Structure 1
Protein backbone atom coordinates (compact mmCIF):
# COMPACT_ATOMS: atom_id res chain seq x y z
CA UNK A 1 0.00 0.00 0.00
CA UNK A 2 1.45 3.37 -1.00
CA UNK A 3 1.72 6.20 1.49
CA UNK A 4 -0.40 9.30 0.96
CA UNK A 5 1.67 12.22 -0.31
CA UNK A 6 -0.09 14.86 1.74
CA UNK A 7 -2.53 15.45 4.57
CA UNK A 8 -3.60 18.74 6.17
CA UNK A 9 -1.78 19.57 9.40
CA UNK A 10 -5.07 19.42 11.32
CA UNK A 11 -5.61 15.82 10.26
CA UNK A 12 -2.07 14.86 11.28
CA UNK A 13 -2.38 16.68 14.60
CA UNK A 14 -5.66 14.91 15.34
CA UNK A 15 -3.92 11.57 14.84
CA UNK A 16 -1.02 12.78 16.97
CA UNK A 17 -3.36 13.84 19.77
CA UNK A 18 -5.21 10.50 19.72
CA UNK A 19 -1.86 8.69 19.89
CA UNK A 20 -0.65 10.88 22.75
CA UNK A 21 -3.91 10.52 24.67
CA UNK A 22 -4.19 6.76 24.16
CA UNK A 23 -0.59 5.80 24.88
CA UNK A 24 0.89 8.73 26.80
CA UNK A 25 2.93 11.75 25.72
CA UNK A 26 6.14 9.74 25.30
CA UNK A 27 4.44 7.61 22.64
CA UNK A 28 4.35 10.60 20.30
CA UNK A 29 7.39 10.10 18.10
CA UNK A 30 7.84 10.80 14.41
CA UNK A 31 8.15 7.08 13.73
CA UNK A 32 4.92 6.14 15.53
CA UNK A 33 3.04 9.09 14.07
CA UNK A 34 4.23 8.14 10.58
CA UNK A 35 2.80 4.63 11.07
CA UNK A 36 -0.46 6.03 12.46
CA UNK A 37 -1.12 8.72 9.84
CA UNK A 38 0.55 7.16 6.80
CA UNK A 39 2.94 10.01 6.00
CA UNK A 40 6.67 9.40 5.93
CA UNK A 41 8.77 10.26 8.94
CA UNK A 42 10.86 12.68 6.88
CA UNK A 43 7.71 14.54 5.79
CA UNK A 44 6.68 14.89 9.43
CA UNK A 45 10.14 16.12 10.45
CA UNK A 46 10.03 18.74 7.66
CA UNK A 47 6.66 19.95 8.92
CA UNK A 48 7.22 19.88 12.67
CA UNK A 49 11.06 20.06 12.94
CA UNK A 50 11.46 18.46 16.40
CA UNK A 51 9.63 16.20 18.82
CA UNK A 52 9.17 19.16 21.18
CA UNK A 53 7.54 21.25 18.43
CA UNK A 54 5.38 18.32 17.36
CA UNK A 55 4.16 17.87 20.93
CA UNK A 56 3.49 21.58 21.37
CA UNK A 57 1.65 21.86 18.03
CA UNK A 58 -0.41 18.79 18.93
CA UNK A 59 -1.44 20.26 22.27
CA UNK A 60 -2.16 23.68 20.75
CA UNK A 61 -4.42 21.87 18.31
CA UNK A 62 -6.18 20.23 21.29
CA UNK A 63 -6.63 23.65 22.95
CA UNK A 64 -8.10 25.00 19.69
CA UNK A 65 -10.59 22.14 19.69
CA UNK A 66 -11.51 22.76 23.34
CA UNK A 67 -11.96 26.48 22.63
CA UNK A 68 -14.29 25.65 19.72
CA UNK A 69 -16.28 23.18 21.81
CA UNK A 70 -16.58 25.63 24.69
CA UNK A 71 -17.70 28.41 22.34
CA UNK A 72 -20.32 26.19 20.68
CA UNK A 73 -21.68 24.95 23.99
CA UNK A 74 -21.66 28.47 25.43
CA UNK A 75 -23.68 29.76 22.48
CA UNK A 76 -26.43 27.22 23.15
CA UNK A 77 -26.40 27.46 26.95
CA UNK A 78 -29.15 29.40 28.73
CA UNK A 79 -27.64 32.11 30.92
CA UNK A 80 -29.01 30.59 34.11
CA UNK A 81 -27.45 28.54 36.93
CA UNK A 82 -29.03 25.43 35.37
CA UNK A 83 -27.40 26.43 32.08
CA UNK A 84 -24.02 26.62 33.80
CA UNK A 85 -24.50 23.08 35.07
CA UNK A 86 -25.56 21.94 31.59
CA UNK A 87 -22.43 23.47 30.05
CA UNK A 88 -20.04 21.81 32.49
CA UNK A 89 -21.75 18.44 32.24
CA UNK A 90 -21.46 18.65 28.44
CA UNK A 91 -17.75 19.49 28.73
CA UNK A 92 -17.33 16.50 31.06
CA UNK A 93 -18.47 14.05 28.38
CA UNK A 94 -15.06 14.15 26.71
CA UNK A 95 -13.30 12.82 29.83
CA UNK A 96 -14.63 9.30 29.22
CA UNK A 97 -13.88 6.43 31.57
CA UNK A 98 -11.25 6.27 34.31
CA UNK A 99 -8.50 5.07 31.95
CA UNK A 100 -9.18 7.92 29.52
CA UNK A 101 -9.27 10.42 32.38
CA UNK A 102 -5.99 9.11 33.82
CA UNK A 103 -4.27 9.34 30.42
CA UNK A 104 -5.64 12.87 30.11
CA UNK A 105 -3.81 13.81 33.32
CA UNK A 106 -0.53 12.72 31.70
CA UNK A 107 -1.33 14.99 28.77
CA UNK A 108 -2.20 17.83 31.16
CA UNK A 109 1.25 17.44 32.70
CA UNK A 110 2.70 18.38 29.31
CA UNK A 111 0.51 21.51 29.21
CA UNK A 112 1.77 22.52 32.65
CA UNK A 113 5.43 22.15 31.62
CA UNK A 114 5.18 24.50 28.63
CA UNK A 115 4.61 28.25 29.20
CA UNK A 116 2.83 28.63 25.83
CA UNK A 117 0.41 25.85 26.70
CA UNK A 118 -0.07 27.13 30.26
CA UNK A 119 -1.06 30.48 28.77
CA UNK A 120 -3.69 28.73 26.64
CA UNK A 121 -5.04 27.06 29.76
CA UNK A 122 -5.19 30.39 31.59
CA UNK A 123 -7.01 31.98 28.67
CA UNK A 124 -9.56 29.13 28.58
CA UNK A 125 -10.06 29.46 32.35
CA UNK A 126 -10.87 33.16 31.90
CA UNK A 127 -13.35 32.53 29.08
CA UNK A 128 -15.08 29.65 30.89
CA UNK A 129 -15.23 31.59 34.16
CA UNK A 130 -16.84 34.55 32.39
CA UNK A 131 -19.47 32.37 30.72
CA UNK A 132 -20.28 30.71 34.04
CA UNK A 133 -20.44 34.07 35.83
CA UNK A 134 -22.88 35.33 33.19
CA UNK A 135 -25.14 32.42 34.09
CA UNK A 136 -25.51 33.88 37.60
CA UNK A 137 -25.93 37.53 36.55
CA UNK A 138 -29.61 37.58 37.59
CA UNK A 139 -29.05 35.91 40.96
CA UNK A 140 -28.64 38.52 43.70
CA UNK A 141 -25.72 38.36 46.09
CA UNK A 142 -23.44 36.13 44.03
CA UNK A 143 -19.71 36.35 44.78
CA UNK A 144 -17.83 38.38 42.19
CA UNK A 145 -15.78 35.34 41.19
CA UNK A 146 -18.69 32.86 41.03
CA UNK A 147 -17.61 31.67 37.59
CA UNK A 148 -14.13 30.72 38.76
CA UNK A 149 -15.55 29.15 41.94
CA UNK A 150 -17.89 26.97 39.90
CA UNK A 151 -15.14 26.01 37.43
CA UNK A 152 -12.90 25.04 40.36
CA UNK A 153 -15.68 22.96 41.90
CA UNK A 154 -16.21 21.22 38.55
CA UNK A 155 -12.53 20.33 38.19
CA UNK A 156 -12.49 19.12 41.79
CA UNK A 157 -15.52 16.93 41.09
CA UNK A 158 -13.72 15.32 38.17
CA UNK A 159 -10.72 14.56 40.35
CA UNK A 160 -12.73 13.19 43.28
CA UNK A 161 -14.75 10.99 40.92
CA UNK A 162 -11.50 9.51 39.61
CA UNK A 163 -10.65 8.01 43.00
CA UNK A 164 -13.88 6.01 43.08
CA UNK A 165 -15.18 5.82 39.50
CA UNK A 166 -17.31 2.71 40.02
CA UNK A 167 -19.80 4.41 42.32
CA UNK A 168 -21.43 6.50 39.58
CA UNK A 169 -21.05 7.42 35.92
CA UNK A 170 -18.87 10.53 35.49
CA UNK A 171 -21.42 12.98 34.10
CA UNK A 172 -24.02 11.95 36.69
CA UNK A 173 -21.45 12.49 39.44
CA UNK A 174 -20.49 15.90 38.07
CA UNK A 175 -24.11 16.96 37.62
CA UNK A 176 -25.03 15.90 41.15
CA UNK A 177 -22.06 17.76 42.63
CA UNK A 178 -22.73 20.92 40.62
CA UNK A 179 -26.40 20.97 41.62
CA UNK A 180 -25.37 20.76 45.28
CA UNK A 181 -22.81 23.53 44.74
CA UNK A 182 -25.38 25.82 43.11
CA UNK A 183 -27.95 25.14 45.85
CA UNK A 184 -25.38 25.90 48.56
CA UNK A 185 -24.13 29.09 46.91
CA UNK A 186 -27.68 30.35 46.30
CA UNK A 187 -28.61 29.69 49.94
CA UNK A 188 -25.51 31.48 51.22
CA UNK A 189 -26.07 34.41 48.86
CA UNK A 190 -29.74 34.71 49.85
CA UNK A 191 -28.69 34.94 53.52
CA UNK A 192 -26.15 37.62 52.63
CA UNK A 193 -28.74 39.64 50.70
CA UNK A 194 -31.32 39.28 53.50
CA UNK A 195 -28.81 40.50 56.08
CA UNK A 196 -28.79 39.75 59.82
CA UNK A 197 -32.11 38.80 61.40
Structure 2
Protein backbone atom coordinates (compact mmCIF):
# COMPACT_ATOMS: atom_id res chain seq x y z
CA UNK A 1 0.00 0.00 0.00
CA UNK A 2 1.46 3.41 -0.99
CA UNK A 3 2.21 5.93 1.74
CA UNK A 4 -0.20 8.89 1.99
CA UNK A 5 1.02 12.07 0.36
CA UNK A 6 2.07 14.70 2.84
CA UNK A 7 1.75 17.49 0.25
CA UNK A 8 -1.09 17.35 -2.28
CA UNK A 9 -0.47 17.65 -6.00
CA UNK A 10 -2.45 20.91 -5.99
CA UNK A 11 -0.19 22.38 -3.30
CA UNK A 12 2.92 21.19 -5.14
CA UNK A 13 1.78 22.70 -8.43
CA UNK A 14 0.65 25.96 -6.80
CA UNK A 15 4.07 26.21 -5.14
CA UNK A 16 5.86 25.51 -8.42
CA UNK A 17 3.77 28.18 -10.18
CA UNK A 18 4.57 30.69 -7.45
CA UNK A 19 8.26 29.86 -7.77
CA UNK A 20 8.14 30.11 -11.57
CA UNK A 21 6.55 33.56 -11.22
CA UNK A 22 9.32 34.63 -8.83
CA UNK A 23 12.36 33.29 -10.68
CA UNK A 24 11.13 32.36 -14.16
CA UNK A 25 10.92 28.86 -15.63
CA UNK A 26 14.51 28.87 -16.89
CA UNK A 27 15.92 29.38 -13.38
CA UNK A 28 13.51 26.98 -11.70
CA UNK A 29 15.25 23.76 -10.62
CA UNK A 30 13.87 20.58 -9.14
CA UNK A 31 15.87 21.28 -5.99
CA UNK A 32 14.41 24.80 -5.66
CA UNK A 33 10.90 23.48 -6.38
CA UNK A 34 11.34 20.80 -3.72
CA UNK A 35 12.45 23.41 -1.17
CA UNK A 36 9.47 25.59 -2.12
CA UNK A 37 6.94 22.85 -1.43
CA UNK A 38 8.70 21.09 1.43
CA UNK A 39 9.49 17.81 -0.31
CA UNK A 40 12.66 16.02 -1.34
CA UNK A 41 13.77 16.44 -4.98
CA UNK A 42 13.51 12.65 -5.35
CA UNK A 43 9.83 12.86 -4.40
CA UNK A 44 9.19 15.38 -7.18
CA UNK A 45 11.06 13.15 -9.64
CA UNK A 46 8.98 10.19 -8.48
CA UNK A 47 5.72 12.12 -8.97
CA UNK A 48 6.49 14.07 -12.13
CA UNK A 49 9.61 12.60 -13.72
CA UNK A 50 11.42 15.64 -15.07
CA UNK A 51 11.50 19.40 -14.66
CA UNK A 52 9.68 19.73 -17.99
CA UNK A 53 6.87 17.40 -16.86
CA UNK A 54 6.64 19.25 -13.54
CA UNK A 55 6.39 22.59 -15.36
CA UNK A 56 3.76 21.16 -17.72
CA UNK A 57 1.68 19.94 -14.79
CA UNK A 58 2.08 23.35 -13.10
CA UNK A 59 1.12 25.09 -16.32
CA UNK A 60 -1.99 22.91 -16.57
CA UNK A 61 -2.87 23.90 -12.99
CA UNK A 62 -2.26 27.55 -13.88
CA UNK A 63 -4.68 27.26 -16.80
CA UNK A 64 -7.37 25.96 -14.43
CA UNK A 65 -6.74 28.82 -12.00
CA UNK A 66 -7.07 31.25 -14.94
CA UNK A 67 -10.27 29.83 -16.44
CA UNK A 68 -12.31 28.60 -13.46
CA UNK A 69 -13.04 32.03 -11.91
CA UNK A 70 -14.72 33.07 -15.16
CA UNK A 71 -16.54 29.77 -15.67
CA UNK A 72 -17.76 29.61 -12.06
CA UNK A 73 -18.60 33.31 -11.55
CA UNK A 74 -21.95 33.58 -9.76
CA UNK A 75 -22.81 37.28 -9.63
CA UNK A 76 -26.43 38.22 -10.33
CA UNK A 77 -25.33 40.53 -13.16
CA UNK A 78 -23.83 38.75 -16.19
CA UNK A 79 -21.50 41.70 -16.80
CA UNK A 80 -20.33 41.53 -13.18
CA UNK A 81 -19.64 37.83 -13.80
CA UNK A 82 -17.39 38.83 -16.70
CA UNK A 83 -15.50 41.55 -14.85
CA UNK A 84 -15.24 39.84 -11.47
CA UNK A 85 -14.38 36.51 -13.08
CA UNK A 86 -11.50 38.00 -15.06
CA UNK A 87 -10.31 40.05 -12.08
CA UNK A 88 -10.51 36.87 -10.00
CA UNK A 89 -8.30 35.12 -12.54
CA UNK A 90 -5.31 37.28 -11.59
CA UNK A 91 -3.20 36.57 -8.53
CA UNK A 92 -3.83 39.42 -6.05
CA UNK A 93 -0.20 39.11 -4.92
CA UNK A 94 1.23 39.34 -8.44
CA UNK A 95 4.18 41.67 -8.83
CA UNK A 96 5.49 43.30 -12.01
CA UNK A 97 8.39 40.84 -11.87
CA UNK A 98 5.86 38.03 -11.55
CA UNK A 99 4.12 39.27 -14.69
CA UNK A 100 7.47 39.22 -16.50
CA UNK A 101 8.09 35.65 -15.38
CA UNK A 102 4.55 34.63 -16.33
CA UNK A 103 5.36 35.96 -19.81
CA UNK A 104 8.38 33.65 -19.75
CA UNK A 105 5.96 30.79 -18.98
CA UNK A 106 3.82 32.03 -21.86
CA UNK A 107 6.83 31.56 -24.14
CA UNK A 108 6.67 27.86 -23.31
CA UNK A 109 2.94 27.91 -24.00
CA UNK A 110 3.50 29.41 -27.43
CA UNK A 111 6.52 27.35 -28.49
CA UNK A 112 6.22 23.91 -26.89
CA UNK A 113 3.37 21.85 -28.45
CA UNK A 114 2.31 20.13 -25.19
CA UNK A 115 2.21 23.43 -23.31
CA UNK A 116 0.41 25.14 -26.19
CA UNK A 117 -2.26 22.45 -26.35
CA UNK A 118 -3.11 22.94 -22.65
CA UNK A 119 -3.14 26.73 -22.87
CA UNK A 120 -5.19 26.75 -26.07
CA UNK A 121 -7.73 24.42 -24.48
CA UNK A 122 -7.99 26.86 -21.56
CA UNK A 123 -8.23 29.90 -23.83
CA UNK A 124 -11.11 28.28 -25.72
CA UNK A 125 -12.90 27.51 -22.44
CA UNK A 126 -12.33 31.08 -21.27
CA UNK A 127 -13.73 32.56 -24.46
CA UNK A 128 -16.75 30.22 -24.34
CA UNK A 129 -17.47 31.32 -20.75
CA UNK A 130 -17.16 34.98 -21.75
CA UNK A 131 -19.53 34.46 -24.68
CA UNK A 132 -22.01 32.71 -22.37
CA UNK A 133 -21.97 35.57 -19.84
CA UNK A 134 -22.18 38.21 -22.58
CA UNK A 135 -25.12 36.47 -24.25
CA UNK A 136 -26.86 36.42 -20.86
CA UNK A 137 -26.13 40.15 -20.55
CA UNK A 138 -27.85 40.76 -23.90
CA UNK A 139 -30.82 38.61 -22.85
CA UNK A 140 -31.10 40.44 -19.51
CA UNK A 141 -30.83 43.88 -21.12
CA UNK A 142 -27.41 44.84 -19.79
CA UNK A 143 -25.93 44.95 -23.30
CA UNK A 144 -27.44 46.36 -26.47
CA UNK A 145 -29.32 43.85 -28.62
CA UNK A 146 -26.94 44.59 -31.50
CA UNK A 147 -23.86 43.53 -29.48
CA UNK A 148 -21.60 41.11 -31.36
CA UNK A 149 -21.00 38.76 -28.44
CA UNK A 150 -18.23 36.80 -30.20
CA UNK A 151 -16.28 39.92 -31.12
CA UNK A 152 -16.74 41.42 -27.64
CA UNK A 153 -15.52 38.20 -25.98
CA UNK A 154 -12.36 38.33 -28.13
CA UNK A 155 -11.85 41.99 -27.25
CA UNK A 156 -12.25 41.29 -23.51
CA UNK A 157 -9.78 38.41 -23.73
CA UNK A 158 -7.29 40.71 -25.48
CA UNK A 159 -7.91 43.48 -22.93
CA UNK A 160 -7.26 41.02 -20.09
CA UNK A 161 -3.85 40.03 -21.48
CA UNK A 162 -2.95 43.62 -22.35
CA UNK A 163 -3.99 44.86 -18.91
CA UNK A 164 -1.48 42.51 -17.28
CA UNK A 165 1.35 43.99 -19.34
CA UNK A 166 0.06 47.56 -18.98
CA UNK A 167 -0.08 47.27 -15.22
CA UNK A 168 3.42 45.78 -15.05
CA UNK A 169 4.70 48.73 -17.11
CA UNK A 170 2.85 51.58 -15.37
CA UNK A 171 2.60 50.08 -11.85
CA UNK A 172 -0.35 52.30 -10.97
CA UNK A 173 -2.46 50.95 -8.11
CA UNK A 174 -3.26 47.29 -7.65
CA UNK A 175 -3.41 44.82 -10.50
CA UNK A 176 -7.05 44.02 -9.64
CA UNK A 177 -8.09 47.69 -9.77
CA UNK A 178 -6.17 48.24 -13.03
CA UNK A 179 -7.73 45.11 -14.57
CA UNK A 180 -11.25 46.14 -13.51
CA UNK A 181 -10.78 49.63 -14.98
CA UNK A 182 -9.62 48.27 -18.36
CA UNK A 183 -12.43 45.72 -18.61
CA UNK A 184 -15.09 48.27 -17.65
CA UNK A 185 -13.73 50.62 -20.33
CA UNK A 186 -14.14 47.90 -22.96
CA UNK A 187 -17.70 47.15 -21.86
CA UNK A 188 -18.80 50.79 -21.55
CA UNK A 189 -19.59 51.28 -25.26
CA UNK A 190 -21.92 48.26 -25.37
CA UNK A 191 -23.72 48.73 -22.06
CA UNK A 192 -27.35 49.75 -22.06
CA UNK A 193 -27.51 53.05 -20.14
CA UNK A 194 -29.09 52.84 -16.70
CA UNK A 195 -32.53 54.51 -16.49
Interval containing the TM-score (normalised by the shorter chain): 0.7 to 0.9
CA separation in 2, counterparts of 1:45 and 1:110?
21
Higher fraction of helix: 1
Secondary structure of the structure 2 residue equivalent to 1:78: coil
The change in CA–CA distance for 1:91 and 1:46 in structure 2 (over 3 A counts) is closer
Q: What does the per-residue CA deviation read over 1:54-95, in whole Å, with 9 as the maximum and x for residues that have no partner?
A: 1101111222233333333x2x12344344333333334547
Query: Given the alignment of the two structures, is residue 182 of structure 1 paired with residue 187 of structure 2, yes or no?
Result: yes
CA separation in 2, counterparts of 1:107 and 1:8?
23
CA separation in 2, counterparts of 1:116 and 1:126?
15
User: Unaligned 5+ residue runs, structure 2?
Assistant: none
Q: Offset at 1:136?
A: 2.9
Q: Offset at 1:21?
A: 1.5
Secondary structure of the structure 1 residue equivalent to 2:65: helix
Secondary structure of the structure 2 residue equivalent to 1:117: helix
Aligned to 1:194: none
Q: TM-score, normalised by structure 2?
A: 0.75
Aligned to 1:136: 137
The change in CA–CA distance for 1:15 and 1:93 in structure 2 (over 3 A counts) is closer
Q: Offset at 1:33?
A: 2.0
CA separation in 2, counterparts of 1:131 and 1:70?
10
Alignment of 1:118-197 (within 5 A): 118-138=119-139, 139=143, 140-145=145-150, 146-166=152-172, 168-186=173-191
Query: Given the alignment of the two structures, is residue 117 of structure 1 paired with residue 123 of structure 2, yes or no?
Result: no
Larger Rg belongs to: 1
Are the counterparts in 2 of residues 29 and 51 from structure 1 also a CA contact under 8 Å? Answer: yes
User: Unaligned 5+ residue runs, structure 1?
Assistant: 191-197
